[in-house]
Structure 1
């Protein structure tokens, strides 16, 4: 379901009714000394201001999303409701998704929502690992960028609630040359490093697969993304790069989790 399109059409419909009421129907009611607005106008013109505000906020400022899977554990948990900043990476026209104003570019470590390249009606959330031109190597469950290895600080084992088992828990950090940003990841030692059955995707020739993992050169205008729950995430290792045009925004805040209210306000 294209909710953005539905909201746009609702805004147009109710806005048209609101305008007709202001120009035609309201003057007629005043002339006839009728105060009550017809029911059909109450549910169209009367709702226009609210629908218009929601449409503008959702299209240009912030959009809510719910985390449906465990691919971003431990940073984001299943059931987290998050807010996504829609203008961080530029202003886009709603529905058309055409960028009209550049503001910022994604940075390594950003958690981004994007339209899944294989089915753009579906939104995914992952962490940006590689920028255009980067050489990303994920070998034996260790990551390097342009030949520089990430650093790993071991943490207490983490109970992965999606798979009801403990996973190895690390604080992964980019090299200082790449900002030094840190975040937490999970690895399941019993899982193989082999990437099983990767898809054929645009620029798949930029990736070389082996029993130890994968090495990819990120093409211009694209990004390499991964989930923090490394052995339970379908990401760029499997289905390829994220085009810049598919970016929706940067996730930055957990505003609700009905199963764990302590999650509110947390975001790593």
Structure 2
């Protein structure tokens, strides 16, 4: 019995040994965990670095792609702008040929209403009316001139003592009021007595006079103007800006 007891006492570990074994086991387990965590951390760091590298590479590609897209957009915008400008230019040319245009006043035949160097807006589709200013091709110089329509087709026109008569009825010329009054004060005539050699005015013809009657070259000199020679009707003075005026 004593031998058995001794053997059993030797075979069973005591409490201290058990605690030591537990400590050893836990420390080895902790070491293994640390190794695993360190390894996993290293692996995660490597993955992050790889991901960063992968991310960094496409950024450069994206920038080049974005630059290419911007260039394409710019080219497209420039092409669209050029096409728009071209279309606008064509439309403007067509309008200037068939609808409206601008012309520059040359000379002093229309003073004080118009002065040399002023720019006028011309309506090519408007029909000439009495006292409207028109642009026409001068029968003498073949250059464009601006004068005022005074007589229409079928009318009888003459001047007597600074008074316009249309079909034997006196017609007031408001735009010459100041000049006519000055002439009266100086006991002279602003418009000399005048009767056209051909009367009435033929069909398709117009009588045009300059507002500067003592100076202007007009129908008193070269006769009636053919309707086909009329380029258009003056609608507005556009330059200089401070003298912008609609007629």
TM-score tier by shorter-chain length is 0.5 to 0.7
Cα deviations by residue, 1:202-245 (Å, 9 ceiling, x for unpaired): xxxxxxxxxx4333421111000111111111000111111111
Task: Give the Cα separation in 2 of the matches to 1:188 and 1:83.
Answer: 37
Compared with structure 1, are the counterparts of its residues 213 and 67 closer, same or farther at alpha carbon in structure 2 (3 Å cutoff)? Answer: same
Instruction: Identify the residue that residue 189 of structure 1 maps to in structure 2.
Output: 188
Please report the TM-score for the alignment, with normalisation by the length of structure 1: 0.52
SS of match in other structure, 2:95: helix
Q: Alignment partner for residue 207 of structure 2, among 206, 224, 227?
A: 224
CA contact (8 A) 2:183 2:190 kept: no
SS at match of 1:225: strand
Q: Are residues 227 and 156 of structure 1, via their aligned partners in 2, closer, same or farther at CA, if it must alter by over 3 Å?
A: closer
Alignment-derived partner of residue 105 in structure 2:
67
Residues of 1 paired with 2:177 and 2:227: CA distance? 34
Cα offset for 1:150?
A: 2.4
Number of residue pairs the alignment of both structures matches: 167
Determine the C-alpha separation between the residues in 2 that align with 1:108 and 1:71.
18
SS of 1:49's equivalent?
helix
Distance across 1 between alignment mates of 2:157 and 2:179 = 26
* Match for residue 138 of structure 2 among 116, 120, 137: 116
Q: Partner of 1:79: helix, strand, or coil? A: coil
**Larger strand proportion, structure 1 or 2?**
1
Residue 52 of structure 1 and its aligned partner are, at CA, apart by: 1.5
Shift of 1:71: 1.2
Q: How much has 1:47 moved relative to structure 2?
A: 7.5
Corresponding residue to 1:214 among 195, 199, 208:
195
Between Structure 1 and Structure 2, the one with more helix by share is 2
Instruction: Name the residue aligned to 1:147.
Output: 168
- Which SS does the other structure have where 1:129 is aligned? strand
Structure 1 residues 78 and 133: CA distance shift in structure 2, 3 A: same
**2:155 counterpart of 1:134:** yes
Could you say which residue in structure 1 is the equivalent of 2:227? 244
Distance 1:249 1:188, change over 3 A: farther
Which secondary structure does the structure 2 equivalent of 1:168 belong to? helix
Cα deviation for residue 188 of structure 1 reads: 9.8
Cα RMSD over matched residues?
A: 3.6
Contact 1:75 1:267 in 2 (8 A): no
How many Å apart are 1:155 and its aligned residue? 5.2
Residue 262 of structure 1 is aligned with which of 232, 242, 247? 242
Give TM-score scaled by structure 2 length.
Answer: 0.57
